[in-house]
Structure formats: C-alpha cells, structure tokens
Structure 1
Amino acid sequence: MKEKLTKDLMPRRFSRCPMGRSEGLILTSAIFAAGGAYAQDAEVAVEEAPAPEGTLPEYVVDAADNDTLYQADRLSTPKFTQPLRDVPQTMTVIPEALLVDQGATTLTDALRNVSGISLQAGEGGAPPGDNLSIRGFSARTDFFIDGLRDFGAYGRDPFNFEQIEVAKGPSSSTSGRGSTGGSINLVSKAPRLNDFVHTDVSFGSDDLKRTTLDYNQTIPGIEGSALRLNTMWHQNNIPGRDVVGSERFGIAGSLAFGLGDRVIGETPDESGKGMVPMTLPSDTRLSLSFFHYEEEGLPDYGIPWVPSTVTDPRLTSYIDKPAPVPFDRFYGLVDRDFEETSTTMGTVRFEHDVNDSLTIRDQFRVGRTERLSLVTAPRFSGTGTEIRRSDWKDRDETNTMVANQTDFLVSFDTGEISHEVVFGFEFVHETNERFRRKAADGPPTDLFHPNPYDPVTNSFTRTGAFTDAESNSAAVYLFDTMAVTNWLDLTGGMRWDHFELDYLSVGEDGSAERLNRIDNMPSGRAAVVFKPAENGSIYLGYGTSFNPSGEGLSLSSGGRGGSTFELDPEKNETIDLGTKWDLLDERLSLTAALFRTTKTNARTSDPADPDNVIILDGEQQVQGFEFGLAGEITPWWNVFTSYTHLDSEILSSRNPTEIGNELSNTPANSFNLWTQIDLPGGFFVGGGPQFVDSRFNSNANTREAPSYWLWDAAAGYEVNENLTLRVNLHNLADEQYIDRVGGGHFIPGAGRSVMFTASLKF
C-alpha cells in the first residue's frame, strides 16, 4: 500500500572511541605488560579439564606451550556434544596459533586456510570485505559469534578470536536460515584461571602499523573469577593498490565467574598428618562480555571488466576480460570515496549444572552495527577508454539485533543405548534502517591513466528515500546423539523456524510501500557414524537448509531486482560420506569427504521478460570431495592443509543460456598448505602456498578470473620465554591476481608485503 511518510534527513554521526589513537594503545600495552611481569613464571597453555557427563567443557590453564598446536578436538557450540572426529559433518577449525604464525590481520586472511571458500566483490554498495561463498553458495549472512548470528556488514579483525569454526554443507538445523554451502562461527576469547599479558607490536611495508594486547587477570578474593581484555589498533595501505588503505580499532572485555573447581571442604592428606582442600567442578558459571570495533578508510571497487560495447582497437581483444592495465590502477576519487563502520555488542552467558545429567545454558546479546560509505564503481562510459565515475554506491545503514538462545543438555540411557540430547529455543529481533543518499558525479578519467586526485564536489546528502526492515524469528530444536554400541552412533536433529519480516520502502517523494513475509520452515540432519577404531570414524550424513526471500532483511515487489516478497524459501539438501582419523598418537587429524548439495527450487528469472518475474523453478547442484590435515607430524613440525574439488552445474533455469553452466564464484579446485618447523636454538620457519582455480563472475559464465598461486613465508626467533621476534612475508612472488569477482568489476589481490612483529608474554 502507498502512503506519505517523511524521515529525519540529518546524517548519523559515528562515535569515536577515545582509545582509538595508536599512541594511547601502545602506552596501554606497555603499562599492562609491566604490571603483569610478576606473573612471568605462570604457565600459559590450555588443556581441557574433564567435565561431568552432560555438562559443558571447562578450560583451565596448567601446562606449558600448547599454543603451537594446529589441531582442535572439540567445537565450542553445545549443539555438538561429541569430539570433533565423531561429528558427522565436514568441520574446519582454524586455531589462534595458526593465525599468529601466519600474521593474519583480517578474517579473510584467516579463511584462506579453508579450501572451498571464495571471495566476492561488493555489489550495490555491499561491503566487499567479508562477502564470500562456501562450496559455491553465498554465505554473506552466515556469520556467527559464539553461536549467535552476526548480521552486521563490516570487515572483521581476528584480534579477539580463540578459533574459527567453518561448517560445510547445509545446516539450518543448527544455524537457522541460510547456510546453503556452510556457515562460519567466530569463537571469542574468554577469561582463564591464570594471569598473563600478551602484547604484539608490528610494523611493515605499505605503512603497516599494528598493536594488540591480551590481558588476563584472576580476581583476588573471588574464587573462580577472572577478567580478560583484548585490544587492537591497526593501520595499513593495501599492497599494490596505490592509495587504498584503512585504520581500525577494537576492544573486547569479558568477566567470568564460576571457572574451574570450587572448594567444598577439607580431607586428610596422604600422610594423614595434614589437611588438603576438597574440590568439585563449579556447577554455575556466568560471563559478561563487551565488544566494540570501528574502521574507516578508502574502499576499493577495483578494475572494470571490458564490456562488449568497446570498439577501441586496444581493447577489442579483451572483451569480457580484465582491462589490460596494471593492477595498481585506482579509479575512485580520494576526495569523495570513504567508508566508516562501527560495531558494538554486549553478551551475557549463564550456565548451570542441575546435576550430572542436566546442564542449562542461556545466552543473551544486544548488538548494533553502523555503516556509512560511498564508493566508486568503475564503468566504461562508451566505446573508448573513458571511465565514468558517476556509478557510485552508497550505504547509510544501521543494523540492530536482540537475541536470546537457551539450551538444555541432557544425558541419559534407554536400555543399552546412551543419549546426549540438546534441546533449545532461540528468539531474535533484527532491524535494518537504510537511508538513500546522493553525491556529486565525479569527472570521468582515462582507463590507462586514471587520476584519483581529480577535484570533485564533496556533497553527500540524504535524498529523503529510506527503507526500514524489522524481522522477528523464533526457533525450537532438538538433537540426539545415540551411542548404540562402542562402534556405532546414530545422530539426528530437527529445527523449526518462524521468520517474519516487515519491510517499508519510502521514495524521495514520500510515497511508501509496505511488504510483509512470514515463513515457517522445518530443517533437519541425520547421520550414521561407524567407529572401526578408537581414533577414527566413518559417517554418512544428510542435511537440509532453506533461504527465505527476506534472508538479507530486504523485500521487493518488482523493479530491477524482481519481485521477491511472494516467494517461498529456496530449499537445499546435502548428502555426504566422510571419514575422520586422529593419527600419530592422535596429534594429527585427517579428514576426507564426498558430498553433493542440491538447491531444488532456486530463484530464477527470464532476462527477456520485461516484467522480470522471479519464480522458484531453478535447480543448482555442487558435488565434489575434499580432504584436510591439521596438527603435529612431530613435536617440532606442525601442518595445516586442505584441498577441495567442486563440480558445479545449473541444472534448470528460466534463462536457457545458463543451463549447464558453472555456478558463479565456484573454483573447481582450491588448495592451501601452511607448515611450520621449530629449529634448534629457538629459531622457527614456516610457509606454504594457496591455489585457487579459475572462476566465473556470474552464472552467465562469460567473464572468467584466471587461476593463481600465492606463496607466504615466516621466520622467527624465540629470544627467551618472554620475547619472540617474527617476520611474515605475504605473496612472495608478487603475483598479480584477482582476489574478488563482481558483476562489472573485480578487485585485485594484495601485492607482496612484509610484517615484523615483536611478541611479549608475561
């Protein structure tokens, strides 16, 4: 329906954290490091303490030097109660130690360790940073932090990550809407029961400066309590991208109670002459956490593809190929283009062990993300080499979220069969408010000789048009892992989601359209796990997922994007056969899987249809295999590697030219390897390659990004137990490659760079 509405047109201001200055953060790091020196003899490794059956695992610190391991044995989410090798789904866990060794400073850096993931360039003002595909399907909205969805559109820094968990294949039964190709869960650092201070100071090429602080302190006088503070400041230009760069700051604090054991009395010691404390694991745990992150910089939409309209003889042989220019060319405007993001969230988690068989866990979060940006999308303006800079993309939007998730973990037996059951429910309220803006068109520039410093009128004002989206989702789920025998597990899970979206679109003249969509969708997963040996498993699994038309908190009734608000969700299913083994005294994890994922009612439209009607008549399929290896080959040799082969095909579409084509952004082969060796005398070296096969920018399969190899390396010296020096080299060969593909443009990857880091630990 149409109605007359207006909205405040004043621009929203972004708050600046007073600690965002590099000098302040470096000084803070030094103060904490000095204050924590008394704890330099503390042992800082983490091992998992045994927990009563049916309770969440606790983590305590009492052994040294476990932070070099690349192997994970469990997932953080309580929805998976079994060890990682018995989880019947492909899971890749990237530990913090690997990120440190590689010098990773962004989430996309970290995800290069996972084959089968490919990056997507931003379109329509969407952020390019964390826009990606998993196994050929978009995962832009499939990010989670500690099990709760992180919908905000921003680039992420790994300074507060304990580990990154990548689930492959449809998994709406555990994550809700989306997850066609998989999902990504970011596990935050949490307080521990030992005192330590870790601080890194880095500098390098392309004006790179970075400092991080990780401070953990038990609270005197309060048994089982601790606080942890993580901060980060980072600044750099993008190697090989001329003027592109950014600055960011983050702070994350958490406070926990009920960690470790509690004293319940005293008992005689072995001699019988003295008394020692009697302890039991704490049965109640509470944590409070806060996170704030902000970034500003010059965004990059890269270089245009050469369209079929050009007639210049220097370009005709490059039609539908990358423009024949050096990859350091920048077609934006320094005095106009910008990007600012700000993310804040607070989380409360409560856990209580009712008894040895029942644990209750509740997690509540509020969050807010703001983004204000203007970026130039370079496009050819005619038949020659002129590039117009009037196709700018704007974002002035705010996302908010209020979420609560409650889990009941129950263990019991029915005859000879033991059960690990997780029952839970989830409520999420999300909003997205976006104001449309207008900017002055920039002057055109030449393809071969662009000038990013051309003068431009610095005007960026709201037009009066805006959209308001508000969603409410509720879910209930149940999972059961049944140990039928010592060598056979049966797992099953079901989830029911209610997703409602109200969407208001208001034009510049005040005319408005309200759209509403309600979807109720079941999803499930089932598997058989055969354990022929204690250190290995073989599984056969099946899972489903769904993609509602309002998945990205947007609906339409027509126009360029077609009508979506009347469409039912897309449905996806996967079947996978895999095996997992812990080898070499369980120090090295091997995984392998065959899989097939099918989207049975994909949204599709006929390009010849003037009404651009979208129907659920498409079918897409991705099948393939992958393997991974993570852990220690010897105590001094660590390795992390994976390979994925994807065979994608569009089986059905209203666009007949798409049938038989590959899915966009789906390389047939991808591979990564990182290995690090500890040498005598405190020295260490590491390195390895990444390979990404060629891939198309769209389902039309007309524009193809070439394959590429990248090589990284690292070396370092452990001066003493408190100081380590490290150098990281990225893109050793200075390979020129396409990192992200988009419809009308592509974004080149970063060139060769070097980073020096001094790490202090007390």
Structure 2
Amino acid sequence: MQNFSTYPLPKLHPLALAVLGVLAYPTAFANTDDNVGEPRVTLAPETIIIQRNGARYSYIRPYDEITALKTDAYLDTTPQSINVVTRRHLDEREPIDVAETLAYTSGVQGGYRGENGNIEMTVRGVGNKHDGGGAALLVDGMSYATSLEMNPYLIDSIDVLKGGISALYGKSSPGGVVNINLKKASGSNEKEIALKVGANNRTELGIDIDNKLSDNLDYRLVGAVKKLEWQAGDAEQESHALSSSINWTISNKANLQVFALHENQPKAGDRNFLVAQGLLTSVNGKYIPYDFFGSDPNFHDIRTKQTQLGYQFDYDVNDNLRFSQKTRYGKYSDILKSVIVWYPDSNSPSTLVRKARMWDYSHTAFQTDNSVNFKLNTGGLSHSMMAGVDYTDIDRDETTHLGDAPSIDWQAPAYGVNITPPILRTNNKQENRQVGVYVQNEMAFDKWHFLVGGRYDKSKTSELNLLNNQFTSQKDSKFTWRAGALYAFDNGVSPYISYGTSFVPAIGTDANGNALKPTTSTQAELGVKYQITPRVLLTGSLFDIKQQNLMQFDRATRSNKQIGEVQTLGAEIELQGDITPNWGLSGSYTYLDKTIKRDTDPSNVGKTHWNVPKHNYSLWTDYRFSGTLDGLSVGVGMRHQDKTYDHTNTLTVPSYTLWDLKVGYRPAVLFPRLKGITLQLNVQNVGDKHYVASCSNADSCFYGKERQIIGSVSYRW
C-alpha cells in the first residue's frame, strides 16, 4: 500500500483552489426548504430517500442504485469514490456521444479519438484494453459485452465507481467502471418529445413515454433517431434506437422488470486515423485540414447493430432477506469496409500510404447474475450482507481483411479511386465462459462504516482458427477482494480509506509464442467526503494504482507484449450539487502521474504512459433566472486537458482548453398555452478550437471534435 505521508502533492490549478475555497464558506450552501431537485420523502431526521424518477431534476443523487454495492447505497457513507451524472446534466449539456456525458467528471478522460463510433474512455488513466485504454463498461449493473456507441437519449443516468471492483464484477481495470443506467419504467406518467437540429446537417428526434397502466403495471417506451455528417469529409452517422421496458409489481414481495433495446447504425462514421506529421508538426508550413477524409467514398461502409433482451426479478422473502436475479441476452455486430491511413510517404511528406481494411465482428452474449441480500444485527454492529453467483457465455465470430490501397495527398486529395479487395487475414471463432462467486458484507457501528468483499472467478477461452484449423484453449482463475472503512462525523465530513485488487484476463501469445499472463492490479485510496447540504457534495481523494503485466501492441512484431509494472499516483477533487434552488454547479480537478516502473525494454522505465494528462480540470455551471428574466437559463462550461505523450514519449500532444455554452428558455412564462415547451441552444467548443486529441504513436493520431451547435425544442407533459 502507498505510504501517503510521502505522497508527492501536485501543484494545484486555479479551479482546484477555488473548489477548496468553498470549504471556508460552508454557509454559502445553507440548506433551504425550497422545492428544488428531486422529490423526496423524509423517513427520519436527516434521512432522505430520493425517488427514482427524480434524477432529471437535480445535479446530485445522494445514493447509488446499482454500481457500488449491487444494493442501494448512500454516496456519503460508501468508502469509495463514486460519481453520478444525472439526467439533468445530460439535458443541460446535450452531449453528442456517451464519452461526452462524462466530460465534467473527475478522473474520466473521453474523446481521445475525436469523433468515434465506439465508447472509449479511461478512468484514472487506466482501462481494460491491451494498451491500458477503454474503461470497463456496465449497462444497468451488468457487463456491456461490446463498446458500440449508444444514443445518449436512451440514458437516464451514469455512475462512475472509482477503484478496483473485480471483487463484485470480475474482470475489470483498477481505475474503475462506468455504469450506464438506461431509462426504465417508473410510473411517473411523464412524456417528452424532442426535436434537435444543428451544424453538419444534424437532425435528431427523441420520444420518451413513461406511463402507469395500473396500480401494479408500468411501461416505458423510448425512441431516438439521429442523422449527421462528421467533420471528416464523406463520413456520416445515422442511428435508429428503440428501448422499451415493463415493470410489474406482482405483489408486495415480488417485482419483475422486463426490457428490450435495439439500435441500428447503418452509417457509423469513420475510423479516423491520421499521422503526427501534419498534425503535430507542419509540412512546408501547412497542416492536414481538419475536415480531411482519409478513406474513399468508393470503399467506405461502416455499420453497427445491437439488440438486448433481459429482465430483473426481485423477491423479498421478508424484511431482511431479498433474492435478485438479472439476466440479459445480447446480439452485436460491427462491420467495416474502409481505407485506413497507415503512415506518411518518406518521399513525399504530404502523401499518406493507406491500407484497404475490412472486418466483420459479430457475437452473442448471455449473462445472468443471482444474489441473495440479507440484513442482521450482531450486538451494536449492523450487517447488510450479500452472496451471489454470475455466469457469462460469449460466442464470437471474427474475420479481418487487409491489403494495399492507393496513397492520397492531403494537400490535393483525389477520391473515387479503384480499390483492390483486401486479402483475408484472420477467420476465427471464439468462445468464452466465465463463472464468478462473490460475497460482501457492509457493516455499520455508530458512525463507522465498513465494507469487505471477495470474489473467485474461473474462465475458459477457446479459439478456432478457420484458416489453418488450429485450436487453442486457455483457462484462468483468480481471487480478488476489496475492503474499506469510513467515519461519518456529525458535520457531514467523512474520511475514508479503501484497498482493492482487480484483474483482466489476457488471451493469446506474444511474438515468441509464450502465453500472455492476466493483467493484475491493486489500488490504495485515501479520501474524504463532505456532504455540505443534502444537495451538495464535495469529495477529494489520493490514490496509488499498480498494474502488472499490462499489455501493449508491438508494431514491430504485430503482436502483443507485456510490460512488467506501471504505477499511477493521482489525486481528485470534485464539487457537485444544487448550490441554490436556481444554481447548479459541477467542478473537478484531476492529477495523474502514470509511469512505467518495470519493462522488458529497460529504456522504457521511467517513461510516462501514453495519453495520460498530468492535470485535468473542468467547471460547468447553470443558472435559472427568476423575476424579470424568469424562464431563462444560462449554462457555461470550461474543460482543460494537459499535454500528453505517445508510447515512446517522443511525441508531445499540446494541452487544450474548450468552452461550452447553453441558453434555454421556457416560453410558458409569457405564453401559458406553451406550458411544457423548452427552447434550448447548445454550443460545444465555442471557439471552434482545432486541436489534436491524442497520439499513441507517429502513425496513430486523432483530431479533436470541432464546434458543435445544436438547437432543440422539447415538449414535456
């Protein structure tokens, strides 16, 4: 465990100092009796439960329904760092993709590929992918068996649980997980229709109907269509999504919720690879145009599709014993035909060598999670205990093609060229079976709160290479655990400490034919939570993450290799909540120092891991006017990312700062017949700043997102 007494304290940026300054003036956040935020029911003095359908109306939800403990848990008494992005955040900021929904959340980095047809982000600088990117994703508390983009309109809220949680969910990175909570039937009788138009010929339509059919039956139907042009030339995105759910209260003991989701993207943008020469450095004083299209319209077809069906059944045997079962079946496909920029031509600096690339990835996933929750008291110690078993069965079919393609000069691009069909390179069938058994005990004694849990996983992965009929099989097993303690003072301050282990199985061999080892990790965390009011929460933490056998792609051998050890030292601070009935605020600062400690190549020791900024800070605030300007709301946001490096630390991606703006108006203030209508204008990257989002090496760089302007009209009743 990291000795925090010798922890290298980071230099604090202005935002961090401002947030810390809030502590000096707690009276600025004095609680009021105004009807702000989510509807609530008072059970006892200082005990508040926020109703499910209230997530839209508040900046903060002081409990976590799924991710933290697989049970309801209060954020201010859970000994771990948890962030919740409510629907109000999404309505105000109009994020264009899932990664953007977490743009103002501490420790989360998304958008490092610019426009993207996949959900790719990191938490605390680490992720699940072979190169350390790609945070583990959950949907409604179960592993998301893909990374395909999802329309943000389908989402009710997002939880980010920091630290290693393999003890509950099996394979995951130590940085944390992102849990997407889809809109589900709640019986609120709320309905909405929203029309959005914007730059790049953007058109979106969303419909959300949440109805109570009877005293014990609710249903919800959410539909969304989207069409727009990407900033890169001929790339387009088109999406059709439909989500439905039914909630049946069978009795006062039993409840069943059934859901279905289908999203089809017949056009899914582009895999927009570019190179450092022309992005980070100029070519004869010129840079690659921001709207440059590296593929070719004659050979460009990217499509994705997903379907999910599932249910959750809960049965309360008595007041202290509950059985829960969650089951989901998913079918996913990702098809690509495109020309990919490979590297710059050494004889012509503005000419890019390209490859014709095709793939067809399809898989099905069956998942089930069964658990028993029970409560008991032993003397003065109360226990909320859980034991469960989950099972995952994934079948994959993968084919890839790769071949040469004509080069392109980005100063004078020529399109409509003939592309020779690429050669079949891989044709694999893969099966993965995993079973996990887990236990957990959440304990409370007076103002002390303790958490301890463990899990044992067994998995088997089999792969059949249909090109050479070679069959390989690999078995893995691992025990992981976590523990934490928190003390809740009467003034709302709650210091905590936690420690957890995690793992990510590795499949395949290195260039020498040696089987890859699982990536194992540990995280130690020391933090404090300050519940300033029931609607304002300030959190801060220091953490030490160690990863062993982290994989990287070796461009020389075109295979994976493993790094000995990588360490991440970090700090976070975040303030979030409804400061006054009319003023919401979300501010964060993140410090990350991720370095390679051991490597098979000694020259890499001491280098900074790729795409990990040392300093990140953001601030979003929204104010709803009253009096003469009643009905008007204005939001302003700022996001700053520090410089980052590539794998070899020979390329430096400059820092950048982006500004966002929102103006909303409810015309019913002047025209009562327009009750329920909201007009809103959102501008992301107000200054249309052109910036490089990331570079993993000289041949894999990405431009960031250009300015996005979205005007919307919504009607709620």
TM-score, normalised on structure 2?
A: 0.86
Contact persistence 1:47–1:60 (CA under 8 A): no
Name the residue aligned to 2:457: 497
Pick from 478, 481, 488: which aligns with 1:531?
Answer: 488
Matching residue's letter, 2:337: L
Matching residue's letter, 1:702: T
**Cα distance in 1 between the residues matched to 2:171 and 2:55:** 37
Return the offset for 1:603.
Answer: 4.6
**Cα distance in 2 between the residues matched to 1:329 and 1:393:** 19
- CA distance 1:302–1:613, shift in 2 (3 Å): closer
Equivalent residue runs for 1:598-747 within 5 Å: 598-603=546-551, 614=561, 618-680=564-626, 681-698=630-647, 700-720=648-668, 721-743=675-697, 744-747=699-702
Name the residue aligned to 2:58: 69
- CA offset digits 1:682-735 (Å, max 9, x no partner): 11100110111111132x111221110000000011122311110001111111
**Cα distance in 2 between the residues matched to 1:376 and 1:85:** 50
Name the residue aligned to 2:153: 159
Name the residue aligned to 2:206: 212
Return the offset for 1:135.
Answer: 1.6
**Cα distance in 2 between the residues matched to 1:387 and 1:337:** 20
Name the residue aligned to 2:315: 352
- CA distance 1:119–1:460, shift in 2 (3 Å): farther
Secondary structure of 1:533 counterpart: coil
Name the residue aligned to 1:423: 387
Name the residue aligned to 1:26: none
Return the offset for 1:474.
Answer: 0.4
Equivalent residue runs for 1:11-22 within 5 Å: none
Pick from 310, 317, 331: which aligns with 1:368?
Answer: 331
Pick from 137, 148, 156: which aligns with 1:143?
Answer: 137
**Cα distance in 2 between the residues matched to 1:93 and 1:418:** 26
- CA distance 1:664–1:60, shift in 2 (3 Å): closer
**Cα distance in 1 between the residues matched to 2:262 and 2:43:** 32
**Cα distance in 1 between the residues matched to 2:233 and 2:693:** 16
Name the residue aligned to 1:479: 440
Return the offset for 1:489.
Answer: 1.5
TM-score, normalised on structure 1?
A: 0.81
For the pair 1:757 / 2:712, whether they are aligned, the reply is: yes
Secondary structure of 1:93 counterpart: strand
Matching residue's letter, 1:574: Q
Equivalent residue runs for 1:318-329 within 5 Å: 324-329=287-292
Contact persistence 1:51–1:58 (CA under 8 A): no
Equivalent residue runs for 1:105-124 within 5 Å: 105-119=96-110
Matching residue's letter, 2:372: F
Matching residue's letter, 1:205: A
Secondary structure of 1:303 counterpart: coil
The number of residue pairs the alignment matches comes to: 660
**Cα distance in 1 between the residues matched to 2:275 and 2:108:** 23
Contact persistence 2:117–2:268 (CA under 8 A): no
- CA distance 1:613–1:401, shift in 2 (3 Å): closer
Name the residue aligned to 1:304: 275
**Cα distance in 2 between the residues matched to 1:536 and 1:563:** 53
Name the residue aligned to 1:748: 703
Equivalent residue runs for 1:407-486 within 5 Å: 407-437=371-401, 441-451=404-414, 453-457=415-419, 463=424, 465-484=426-445, 486=446
**Cα distance in 2 between the residues matched to 1:606 and 1:147:** 34
Matching residue's letter, 1:107: V
Return the offset for 1:659.
Answer: 0.6
Name the residue aligned to 2:520: 571
Pick from 521, 526, 543: which aligns with 2:500?
Answer: 543
Return the offset for 1:94.
Answer: 0.8
- CA distance 1:129–1:72, shift in 2 (3 Å): same
Pick from 248, 253, 277: which aligns with 1:283?
Answer: 253
- CA offset digits 1:230-256 (Å, max 9, x no partner): 000011123x43333211110000001
**Cα distance in 1 between the residues matched to 2:397 and 2:354:** 25
Pick from 215, 228, 233: which aligns with 1:236?
Answer: 228
- CA offset digits 1:89-139 (Å, max 9, x no partner): 11111111101100113101102122333347679xx97632222222224
Contact persistence 1:133–1:665 (CA under 8 A): no
Contact persistence 2:55–2:157 (CA under 8 A): no
Return the offset for 1:334.
Answer: 1.9
- CA distance 1:597–1:60, shift in 2 (3 Å): closer
Return the offset for 1:294.
Answer: 1.3
Return the offset for 1:381.
Answer: 2.8
Contact persistence 2:197–2:203 (CA under 8 A): yes
**Cα distance in 2 between the residues matched to 1:248 and 1:242:** 19
- CA distance 1:563–1:211, shift in 2 (3 Å): farther
Identity among equivalent pairs (%): 21
For the pair 1:512 / 2:501, whether they are aligned, the reply is: no
Structure (1 or 2) with the larger CA radius of gyration: 1
Secondary structure of 1:72 counterpart: coil
Return the offset for 1:613.
Answer: 8.9
- CA offset digits 1:353-385 (Å, max 9, x no partner): 111101111001000110101233322133322
Return the offset for 1:299.
Answer: 0.6
Return the offset for 1:153.
Answer: 3.5
User: Which structure 1 segments of 5+ residues have no match?
Assistant: 1-42, 263-281
